[in-house]
Amino acid sequence: MNWFEQLFARCQMYGALSEEIHTHLSEKVEELVASGVPRKEAEYQAKREFGNVTLIEERSREVWMWPRLESILADIKFALRQLRKSPGFTVAAVLTLTLGIGINTAVFSVVHHILLEPLPFPQPSQLQAVWARSDAQGSPRIAASGPDFLDYQDQSRSFSHIAAVLPHFTFTWTGEGEPRLVKCTAITEDFFSVLGIRPYMGRLYTAREYATLENDTILVSYGFWKNQLGGDPHVLGRVIHLQNDPTTIVGVLPPLPDLFPETDVWPEHNTRPSWEFSKWRANKFLTVIGRLKDGVTPAMAQGELTGILRRASGEPPDVQVQLTPLKDDLVGSVRTQLRIIMFSVALVLIVACVNVAALLLARAARRSGEMALRLCLGAAHKRVRQQLVVEGFVLTLLACSPGIFVAWLALHFLPYARGLDFPRLEGVCLNGTALLVTGAVAAVTTLFFGWAPSLMFSALNLASSMRTGRTDTGKSHQRSFSGLVIAEIACSVVLCICAGLLLHSYWRLQHVDLGFEPNRMLKAYLRTNYYTPEGHGFWRDVLQGIATLPGVRAAALADCKPGQGAEIATLVFSDRPNDPNHAPPAQGCWMSSDFFRVSGTPLMQGRFFAPGDDADSAPVVIVNEQAARKYWPGENPIGKKISINYTGPGRTSKSATRMREIVGVVRGMKYGPLELPIEPAVYMPYLQDEISHDMATMSLFVRSVGDPTALESSIRVRIHAVAPDQPIDDMQTMQDIVSRSMAPRRYSLSLLGAFAALALLLSAIGIYGIVSYTTLQRSREFGIRIAVGATRGSVMSHIFRRGLVLTASGAILGVGMALLLTRILAQLLFDVSPLDPLSFASAVVLLALISIAACLLPAWRASHLDPIRALRSE
C-alpha cells in the first residue's frame, strides 16, 4: 500500500480498528460472564486487562500517520481555534508583535544597507578616502590642495589609481527654458579607474580632454539624463549651454546612488595644466580617493602619504594622513544616529515580546485547569509543551507576514520622509539578511513564549488542582509574571529617558540665539556669469529693483549664507607681528550695505555699513563679537586696522589686500549647524572688494513685510528684468533653512519619541494585564475582605499599591540602565547632559501616571465586587 492510498483508506481503517477493539472487549466480557463472573465485574475486568482503549487506539492509528507532523498540525488547528475564541487577546498580541517585527525589519534593512553593505564597486575594500589631520591646528579632517594631490599622484606607490574629486559646486545651464543651476562634481583623470566604472552610454573623457582647460565636452549623470534630458536615447552629441559655453554631451554615467547622488554633470578637473586656484598649497578643497594596490595595507599607505605631505612646505609639523574606507567616509556622519535608532527599536521589540509573553502567561494561567485535566488524562508533559510552543509559533507567524508588510511600507515611504538626508538611502529595500534576522527574532520569541508557560505547568500539582477544582498555579508564576512586567517597564523608562533627552536638546536648540531673525526673510542663490566689470551694475540694478518692490522692507546681497555656511578668511593685523604659517582664521563675507538691517542682527558697538562705503571711500570692516573677544580681548576693536585675505565662493583670482578699519561690532550669526558655537567672522562691503569686478556668486536676502513666499514670483520677475538668463536657485525662507538644518534631529526625536510612546502604551497594557489578572485571581479574597467589612477604598489602595510596587521596581531598574546607556546619546545632545535630571524625572513621573491609569479599572472593579457573587462563583 503506498502512502497515497493510505491517505484515503485511513478513515476506513480507523473505523475497522475501533470495531475490532470493541468486538474484542465484548468477546472477552461474554467469556467471563460464561465462566460465572457477574456482568458488571466482567466489564471492568475486561477493560482493566485490555488497557487504555483510547491510548491504544491512538497508538494503532499512529502507525499509519506521521505522528509528529500530524500532532503539530492538530496543535496548529487547535491554536487557531483558541485564538479565534479570544479575539481581544489575539488582536493585542498580533498587533504588538507585528509592530515590533515590522519596525525592526525596516530599521535593520536601512542599517544593513547603509552601514554594512559594501559599495557596489569591484573589490570595495581597496577603496579609501584620503584625509589629513592636524591636532595642533584642531583640524581632524583636512582636504587636499592641488599641489598636495599632485605630490600624492607622483610620489605614492601604494595606489593602483588615485583621483581627486571636487564636489558641491554649480554651473548655470541656459538656453533651454528658465535658466537653471546644475550640480557638478568635478573629477580628475583616474576617478573612473579608481571605482571601476564604465559609462552607461557613450564614452568617458579622453586623456586629451583631461589636459584641456577650456574643454567643451561633458559627462552627465544617469539621473540628469533621465529627469532633465527626458532619457533621450540620442543624447550623445547633444549640445547644452553650461556657463554660456556650448558643451557637447559625450557620455552618460550609470546610476551611482552611493557616491554624490545629487550630481547632475561630472566635469573634468584639470591637474596639468590647472586653474590658478588649484596651484595654491594652502587652498585645501579636494577630496582624494584611491584604490590600494593588492597587498598594500591602509597603514602602509598612510605612512607613505604622511611622509609625502610632510615634505611640502607650510604644512603643520604634526600633519598626519588618514585613510578611511570609502564606505565609512560616506556614511560616517549618520553612524551614531543609526546605531541609536537600531538600539531603541530593539528595545521596542523586547518590550513587545515581553508584553506578548505576559499576555500568554496570563492566558495560560487561566487555562491551567485545562492543562491539569490534560496531564491527568495521560498527556505527556512533552506533548503539552509542544502544544504551547506551537501556539506561540502560530502567534509569531500570524504577526510575521503583516510585520514584513509594515516593514515594506515603512521602507517604501522612507524616501519621502522630508529632511532625511542619510547617505546611500537610495536602493534601501527589504533584504534577505533583514528577513533572516527577523525570522531569528521570531523563532527566539516563539520558544520563549512556549517555554515560559510550560515551565509553569511542570510545577503544577495535579491532584490538588483536580480536587479543589481551583486552578491556582501558585506564587512562582506570579513572580515570573511580575518579572516580565518589571522588565517591560524598565525598557520603557530607558526609551522615555532617551526621548526626553532628545526633546530637551531640541527645545534648547530651538531657543538658541541665531544672531538673525529668520521670520519673514527670504533667500535666493544667484550665480552669475558676470566675471567682468559689468557685474557690478548687475548687482546694483537687482538690488534696486527688489528694494522698491511693494511688500519688501529691505533687500541685501551677501556671499555668506546664515544658517548654511560661510567661507574662511585669514586676518593680518597692523598692530602685532603676523606669522604667515599660522594666520588667524575668521569666517568672511562680502555684503551690501543693508545686510544687517535685512538679517535683523543687532549692532553691539560702532555702526553698520552705509551706502557711502563704496569703492571710492576708505575700506572698512565689521567684526562679530566672537572675533572682537578672540582677537582684541579687553580692548575696543573699533578703529583698529586689519587686512583680510578672503576670496569667497565662485572667484578665481585675488590681488593684494588692503588695511581696513573696524567700524562696528555685531552679534554673532550661526552659519553652520546650530549646535556648533559661533566662530569669529568679518564682514566687508562688496563694493570695496579688492577686485570689484569679480563677484560671481551672491545670495539675495529680502526682509518682507508679510509672508515672504508671496514675494517669490515678483522677485524672479525683477531679476529677469535685469538679466533674462540669470538662474535663480534655492529660493527659500530662512525659517525653512533653519528648520531643515534641524531635520535630522527632529527625525531622530520623532522616531525615538514614537518608540517611547509605543513602549509606554505596551507597558500600560502590561501593567493593566497583570493587575487585573491578579485581581481576578484574588476575587474570592477580596470578596471575603469586603464581606467582613473592608471598605472599597482600602481594597482599591491595596491594588494600587501592587501596581505601584511593580512600577517603582521597573522604574528603578530602568533609571539604572539609563544611567549606563544614555552616554551613547551624548553625540546627539545639545546643551543637555546625558544625565539630565529633568528628562529622568519626567520619564519616571510619566510612567507613574500611566501605571496609575492602568490600575484604575481593575481597582475599581475589585472594589465594587459583589461579595456574595465572588464567593459563590468560586
Partner 1 sequence: MPSAKKTAHRDLFPGALEMMILQSLRRQPMHGYALVQHIKQQSNDLLQVEEGSLYPALQRMLKESLVKAEWEISATNRRVRTYRITPAGIKHLQREVSRFEQMLDGIALVLSPAKP
For binding to partner 1 (CB under 8 A), which residues are involved?
Answer: 1, 6, 16-17, 19-21, 23-24, 27-28, 30, 49-53, 55-57, 59-64, 378, 380-381
Beta carbon nearer to partner 1, 64 or 448: 64
Compute the distance between CA of residue 116 and CA of residue 300 in angstroms, rounded to an integer: 25
Dihedral class, residue 168 (left if φ above 0, else alpha if ψ from -120 to 50, else beta): left
Cell matching residue 410: 515603512
**Nearest-angstrom CA–CA distance, 192 and 711:** 44
Considering beta carbons, is residue 319 or 371 the nearer one to partner 1? 371
Q: Distance from CA of residue 125 to its chain's centroid? A: 25
The answer to whether the bond into 273 is cis (omega within 30° of 0) is yes
- In the bound state with partner 1, the residue whose beta carbon lies nearer, of 25 and 425, is 25
Residue 465 or 624: the one with the smaller Cβ distance to partner 1 is 465
For the CB of residue 58, give the shortest distance to partner 1 in the complex, in Å.
Answer: 9
Least Å from the CB of residue 51 to partner 1? 4
Is the CB of 20 or the CB of 318 nearer to partner 1? Answer: 20
Helices (H), 459-600: 462-468, 474-510, 534-547, 595-599
For partner 1, which is the closer residue by CB, 55 or 857?
Answer: 55
| Among the listed residues 191, 223, 226, the one whose alpha carbon sits nearest the alpha carbon of residue 210 | 191
* Minimum gap (Å) between residue 36 Cβ and partner 1: 18
- Grid cell locating 280: 595654491
CB of 48 to partner 1, least distance (A): 10
Segment (H or E) for 728 = strand 728-733
Q: Taking the complex as a whole, how short is the minimal distance between the CB of residue 360 and partner 1, in angstroms? A: 25
The CB-of-459 to partner 1 minimum distance in angstroms stands at 16
- Taking the complex as a whole, the smallest distance from the CB of residue 45 to partner 1 amounts, in Å, to 11
The β-bridge relationship of strands 217-220 and 697-704 is unpaired
Which of these, 716, 709, 702, lies nearest to 554 by C-alpha position? 702
Q: Min. distance of Cβ 17 from partner 1 in angstroms?
A: 7
Distance between CA atoms of 220 and 673, rounded to whole angstroms? 31
C-beta closer to partner 1: residue 378 or 551: 378
In sequence order, the β-bridge partners of residue 166 are 186
Smallest distance from partner 1 to CB 19, Å: 8
- How many angstroms separate the most distant Cα atoms in the chain? 140
Least separation, in Å, of the C-beta of 49 and partner 1?
Answer: 6
CB of 4 to partner 1, least distance (A): 14
Q: CB-wise, 332 or 378, nearer to partner 1? A: 378
Helix %, strand %, coil % for the chain, to 5?
55, 15, 30
Measuring CA to CA, which residue among 603, 576, 575, 572 is closest to residue 588? 572
Q: Which is nearer to partner 1, 377 or 717 (CB)?
A: 377
Task: Tell me which H or E stretch contains 108.
Answer: helix 87-111
Is the Cβ–Cβ distance between 243 and 171 less than 8 Å? yes
The amino acid that residue 793 corresponds to is G
Closer to partner 1 at the Cβ: 62 or 534?
A: 62
- Cβ closer to partner 1: 371 or 752? 371
DSSP 170-206: EEEEESSSS-EEEEEEEE-TTHHHHHT---SEE----
Nearer to partner 1, 20 or 262 (CB): 20
The pairing of beta strand 201-202 with beta strand 552-558: unpaired
CA distance 159 to 130: 11
Q: Going by C-beta distance under 8 Å and a sequence separation of 6 or more, which residues neighbour residue 151?
A: 308, 309, 311, 312
- Smallest distance, Å, CB 68 to partner 1? 16
d(CA 701, CA 275): 31
- Spatial distance between the Cα atoms of 482 and 162, rounded to a whole number of angstroms: 62
